[in-house]
Amino acid sequence: MNADFVIIGSGSAGSAMAYRLSEDGAHSVLVLEYGGTDAGPFIQMPAALSYPMNMARYDWGYRTRPEPHLNGRTLAAPRGKVVGGSSSINGMVYVRGHACDFDHWEHSGADGWGYRHVLPYYQRMERWSDGGHGGDPSWRGTDGPLHVTRGARANPLFDAFVQAGRQAGYEMTDDYNGEKQEGFGPMEQTVFRGRRWSAANAYLRPALKRANCDMLRCFVRRIIIEGGRATGVEVERGGKIQIIRANREIVLAASAFNSPKILMLSGIGPAAHLAEHGIDVVSDRPGVGGNLQDHLELYIQQACTQPITLFKHWNLWSKGMIGAQWLLRKNGLGASNQFESAAFLRSKPGVEYPDIQYHFLPMAVRYDGQAAAEGHGFQAHVGPMRSASRGRVRLASRDPMAAPDIAFNYMAHDSDWEDFRRCIRLTREIFGQAAFDDYRGKEIQPGAHVQSDDALDAFIAEHAESAYHPCGTCKMGAADDPAAVVDPECRVIGVDGLRVADSSIFPRITNGNLNAPSIMVGEKASDLILGRDPLPASNRQPWIHPGWRETVKAAVPA
């Protein structure tokens, strides 16, 4: 019951580390995972994505505290409780983040995590195919474990969305993960040969085929710290409590909710809060559980006048046929997450790089799988990228089985409301372009009558939903930063032999979905753990709108 490296969590970062730390055969690696198998069509079929994130079998089922600025609503906060972690229940959208996000990390104290440092790790992890839809291969990776592809974009609404962006005067991009994020273009997905290409499929399964890598199903209670050093992990397994020993290091990769929870149960966190629960303080780190961030989004829904949306498949017969085609041939509608067009835009002049993200979907439907009663429609998921609001994760109890106490404190700043109102009006501008003339029916949501700032604010408060991108609760920063939890080598400050490497270490949330940067953290952390020289820094410069101070429209009008 010991290994050189013990990794807590088999999610996006944990699976990547299992693969890299065991790669040369010199070290034994043990992954601790509580969740069950990821086998079966609910997880592996991309189009079934709304099911696993709403199933207790695969999801921890966490919820927030009542959010004071969202009418006291309690929001779902899913995290994967399954092999592959949240990469097995997410929407499979692949976004690296913007170059400026990582330069901000570096400027805030995460030395060695600027864009020039992380780009080589993105290239190492990717096996990218543009499917004939453009993009510059020199910015991408072509032989990594993680397959990144693009959907067929066969539905004409996908092209209508992009053309509407052009007609409204915005930038185009043929690869938002390459040189130029800003603009309208194709969306990328972690799907390969019609299957969800989770971190489990990309990294963990190949790693577990090696003699020096294993996985243990157990519930992690806390980390054992002796003489200032993490030496083992206390787990519950088969109704018994056992200790797993680490010969070299323990790496915590259990999510932005469970990583700070486990640290606090182990005596690492805000001293006063630990004392409230009768937990002996090993290291007083006030930043543990703080700095919680997320992306909120709205679903702006428009009725479609032609019966071409996915709503025509929203019946048992059609779902059965799609499922059968996928089971037999791994193709058809079941082989895509249906997020196949996207946009990243700047909200106003003076914003240097995109701060609004769009996912476009040729159906009016919620993440929980509830379709709009109106029938045929299409929608844009839209939300600001860099809210100033911050929340926190705390212990609800010293009982390790108790869910963490999660409060995002969404929409706590006036700027949040301004940003969301701008998102709604921008979406209406796009849906109002000629490209949608043949398809546009009435506005389903918010509804054409919702126009004033007050009316829009009421709609936002009642309908804003999490995009499920929690991060930041074990912030990476300089060792002398009192709010930092880990240093730029991912080492927990004040404790030897313990690191954290997952989305919880993000100093600030990145643009877009967080699966890709979480895997990148696992990739880069592996080299740090092994004491290897980092990959050589890149000298590539990202595209920044030359007129960003003056305009949000295209630099060269279409």
> What is the distance between the alpha carbons of residues 47 and 42, in angstroms, rounded to a whole number?
9
- Does residue 115 lie in a domain region? no
- Does residue 177 lie in a domain region? yes
Helices (H) and strands (E) in the chain, counts: 13, 23
Helix-helix angle 414-431:453-463, to 10 degrees:
100
- Residue 428 is predicted with a pLDDT of 98
92 a known binding residue?
yes
82 a known binding residue?
yes
Task: Supply the mean pLDDT for the chain.
Answer: 96
7: Cβ–Cβ under 8 A, 6 or more apart, which residues?
Answer: 14, 17, 18, 21, 29, 30, 31, 32, 250, 251, 253
351 a known binding residue?
no
Averaged pLDDT, 236-257: 98
- Does residue 500 lie in a domain region? no
- Does residue 523 lie in a domain region? no
- Residue 423 is predicted with a pLDDT of 98
Q: What total of structural domains would you count in the chain?
A: 1
Averaged pLDDT, 222-244: 97
Percent of the chain with pLDDT over 90: 94
| Residue 113, both tokens | 């995590």
- Residue 108 is predicted with a pLDDT of 97
Alpha carbon distances (Å) from 292 to 52, 163, 314, 428:
24, 36, 36, 31
- Residue 494 is predicted with a pLDDT of 97
pLDDT bin (cut points 50, 70, 90) of residue 129 is confident
0.95 exceeded by pTM:
yes
Instruction: For residue 462, count CB atoms less than 10 angstroms from its CB and return exposed for 0-12, middle for 13-18, buried for 19 or more.
Output: exposed
**Catalytic position from the list 69, 117, 359, 469:** 469
Q: Would the pLDDT of 406 be above 90?
A: yes
- Does residue 345 lie in a domain region? yes
- Does residue 64 lie in a domain region? no
264 a known binding residue?
no
pLDDT bin (cut points 50, 70, 90) of residue 370 is low
Q: Would the pLDDT of 275 be above 80?
A: yes
- Residue 558 is predicted with a pLDDT of 67
- Residue 506 is predicted with a pLDDT of 98
- Residue 132 is predicted with a pLDDT of 66
Q: Would the pLDDT of 133 be above 70?
A: no
> What is the distance between the alpha carbons of residues 483 and 474, in angstroms, rounded to a whole number?
9
| Residue 294, both tokens | 């997320």
328: Cβ–Cβ under 8 A, 6 or more apart, which residues?
Answer: none
Averaged pLDDT, 520-533: 98
Q: Which CATH number do you get for residue 301?
A: 3.30.410.40
- Residue 389 is predicted with a pLDDT of 98
- Residue 95 is predicted with a pLDDT of 98
- Does residue 331 lie in a domain region? yes
- Residue 8 is predicted with a pLDDT of 99
Q: Would the pLDDT of 373 be above 80?
A: no
Residue with tokens 């949040």: 416
| Residue 39, both tokens | 């086998």
Range of the domain at 422: 152-186+296-384+412-463
Q: Which helix (H) or strand (E) holds 249?
A: strand 240-252
- Does residue 319 lie in a domain region? yes
Nearest to 287 by CA among 529, 507, 67, 112: 507
Percent of the chain with pLDDT over 70: 98
Identify whether the C-beta of residue 485 lies closer than 8 Å to the C-beta of residue 289.
no
The reply to whether 359 belongs to the active site is no
**DSSP reduced 3-state for 107:** helix
365 a known binding residue?
no
The model's pLDDT over 277-293, given as tens digits with 9 standing for 90+, comes to 999 999 999 999 999 99
List beta partners, residue 215.
Answer: 31
Q: Would the pLDDT of 88 be above 80?
A: yes
